[in-house]
């Protein structure tokens, strides 16, 4: 993966007429071609490195959850209520990490169905669900995402619209 | 953020002598310069996009942990032992996710101290710790990392070496 030296000869190109101006111009062109090639190689390496750095950053953000899972189990012999409290704190912590990474939890019922954020897994009778027809009746699995991109949609049941 | 059209004029450059060969060479040079500029802009966008995609990928990998924290709390009224079993399963799941992302857990005692993977937080008497002098006596907080890069070192106590 050695880089092409700047202004190195490029084989297989047609000869150009001699003369200082043409030679100077050809030299500039070849240098720029070599720059272009070096830039391509450099960026390919950088892209891989940036992906790796981001994977490390995000995984590191989740490590406190693992630490607290370890701790919860070390105290598993303790009062069951304290374990439940520990799990509740763990859940808040995990949600805060996800929020800190820029992703919002989508778990609200009663709001209008939105196909960009909701995946319908069932339709219910509005009479029994206490929400308006066309609204989300129940969130079975929360969704997560940023305004630009959903990590996954919320799995919801929707109150049936009246037959038109 | 519009791209410079290929072979667009670059302002502020010295005039070059006329003539078909020189003109052709200058044209090539300018096109290559424009390519170089476009490449720079394209990669800047790609870098941001790749980082974002990696953040989404890694966060999505952790979502099942959040789901199971939700489920554990929904059944918090159940048998305490089943909650502890649930937390244990959750911990295995979280560790499997971290391993799947390419990071190993470092939690072994008794192995030789390694400054690239261990952070010493205490020194103990080897007589009481049942490990060889210079070995890791106890892991107080596990470390995580890949062979290339530690996310964080393991916090350990080390059995004291004999005075030399």
Dihedral through CA B53, CA B59, CA B60, CA B65, nearest 10?
170
Quick one: average pLDDT of B7-33? 67
Which chain B residues contact residue A23 at CB under 8 A? none
Q: Residues B46, A50: contact at Cβ < 8 Å?
A: no
CA distance B29 to chain A (A): 4
Partners of B158 in the β-ladder = B123, B136
Which chain B residues contact residue A84 at CB under 8 A? 73, 76, 83
Which chain A residues contact residue B84 at CB under 8 A? 73, 76, 83
According to DSSP, residue B112 is labeled B
| For residue A63, pLDDT beyond 70 | yes
Quick one: average pLDDT of A107-114? 94
- Chain B segment 60-89 residues within 8 A of A by beta carbon are 60, 62-63, 65-67, 69-70, 72-73, 76, 80, 83-84, 87-88
Mean pLDDT is lowest, of A35-44, A74-83, A135-144, for A74-83
A75 — pLDDT class (breaks 50, 70, 90) = confident
Which chain A residues contact residue B141 at CB under 8 A? 67
Most confident of A48-52, A129-133, B74-78, B127-131: A48-52
Q: Which of A16, A66, A91 sits opposite B94 (nearest CB)?
A: A66
pLDDT for A27-47, tens place per residue?
Answer: 888 998 999 999 999 999 999
B5 — pLDDT class (breaks 50, 70, 90) = very low
Q: What is the pLDDT of residue B13?
A: 53
Longest CA–CA span in chain A (Å) reads: 91
| For residue B164, pLDDT beyond 60 | no
- Of A76 and B16, which is predicted with more confidence? A76
Provide the percentage of residues in chain A whose pLDDT is more than 70: 85
Mutate to test the interface with B, among A10, A27, A59 (most CBs of B within 10 A): A59
A and B: number of Cβ contacts within 8 A: 163
B149 — pLDDT class (breaks 50, 70, 90) = confident
- Chain A segment 110-149 residues within 8 A of B by beta carbon are 141-142, 144, 149
Supply the ipTM of this predicted assembly.
0.70
Its pTM stands at 0.72
pLDDT for A81-103, tens place per residue?
Answer: 778 888 888 888 999 999 998 99
CA pair distance B11, A161, nearest whole angstrom: 63
- Of B136 and A147, which is predicted with more confidence? B136
Write out the two tokens for A71: 């701790």
* Nearest C-alpha in B relative to A146: B56
| For residue B122, pLDDT beyond 70 | yes
CB of B10 less than 8 A from some CB of A: no
């Amino acid at each position: 993966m050695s880089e092409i030296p700047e202004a190195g000869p490029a084989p297989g190109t047609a000869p150009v007429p001699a003369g200082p101006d043409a030679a100077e111009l050809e030299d500039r062109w070849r240098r720029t071609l070599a720059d272009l090639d070096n830039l391509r190689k450099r960026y390919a390496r950088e892209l891989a490195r940036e992906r790796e750095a981001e994977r490390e950053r995000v995984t590191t953000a989740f490590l406190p959850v693992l630490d607290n899972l370890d701790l919860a189990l070390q105290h598993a012999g303790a009062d069951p209520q304290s374990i439940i409290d520990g799990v509740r704190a763990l859940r808040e912590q995990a949600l805060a990490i996800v929020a800190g990474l820029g992703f919002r939890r989508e778990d609200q019922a009663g709001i209008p169905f939105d196909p960009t954020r909701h995946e319908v897994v069932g339709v219910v009778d509005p009479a029994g669900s206490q929400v308006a027809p066309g609204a989300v009746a129940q969130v079975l699995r929360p969704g997560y995402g940023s305004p630009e991109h959903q990590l996954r949609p919320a799995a919801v049941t929707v109150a049936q619209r009246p037959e038109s």
